[in-house]
Amino acid sequence: MLKLLTPVGDGPSALEELVELADVPVLLVGPDLRVRAWNSAAVRELRFTRSEMVGAHCITGVRCLECINTCPLTKAPPRSAVVSLYRKDGTVGWYRRTGHVLRDITGAVVGILEILTPDPHHTGDRPHAMRFGGLTSRSMVMAAMLHHARRLARAPVSVVIRGETGSGKATLVRAMHETSDRADRPLHRVVCNPHREVDWAALFERHGQGTVLLQHIDTLSAEQQQALARSWPDGDGPRILSTTAASLESETRAGRFEPGLMFRCRGASIAVPPLRERPEDIIPLAMELVRPTTEKTGRRIRGFDGSATEILENHSWPGNVRELAATVIHAASLGRGTILGADEVRTAVHTEQGLRVAATQPDDAALRLRISWALKQTNGRVTEAATLLEMSRSTFWRLRKRLGG
For residues 377 and 340, state if they share a domain: no
For residues 174 and 246, state if they share a domain: yes
For residues 20 and 94, state if they share a domain: yes
214-238 residues labelled b (16+ CB within 10 A) or e (exposed): bbbbbbbeeebbebbbebbbeeebb
Which residues fall within 8 angstroms of residue 355, CB to CB, at 6 or more apart?
Answer: 369, 372, 373, 376
The rounded distance, in Å, linking the Cα atoms of 397 and 393 is 6
Is residue 148 one of the residues assigned to a domain? no
For residues 266 and 372, state if they share a domain: no
Among residues 90, 107, 128, which one ends one of the domains?
Answer: 128
Looking at the 3D structure of the chain, how many domains does it have? 4
Is residue 296 one of the residues assigned to a domain? yes
For residues 335 and 397, state if they share a domain: no
pLDDT in tens, 132-186: 887 878 787 887 788 789 889 989 899 999 999 889 998 999 999 999 999 999 9
pLDDT at residue 69, rounded to an integer:
59
For residues 117 and 24, state if they share a domain: yes
CATH of the domain at 257: 3.40.50.300
pLDDT at residue 293, rounded to an integer:
66
CATH of the domain at 301: 1.10.8.60
Q: What is the pTM of this model?
A: 0.64
Domain that holds residue 396: 359-403
Is residue 13 one of the residues assigned to a domain? yes
For residues 263 and 288, state if they share a domain: no
For residues 166 and 212, state if they share a domain: yes
Residues in the chain where the model's pLDDT stays below 50: 1-11, 76-78, 357-362
For residues 47 and 119, state if they share a domain: yes
The rounded distance, in Å, linking the Cα atoms of 62 and 155 is 26
For residues 349 and 367, state if they share a domain: no
Is residue 92 one of the residues assigned to a domain? yes
pLDDT in tens, 51-74: 989 998 876 666 676 666 566 565
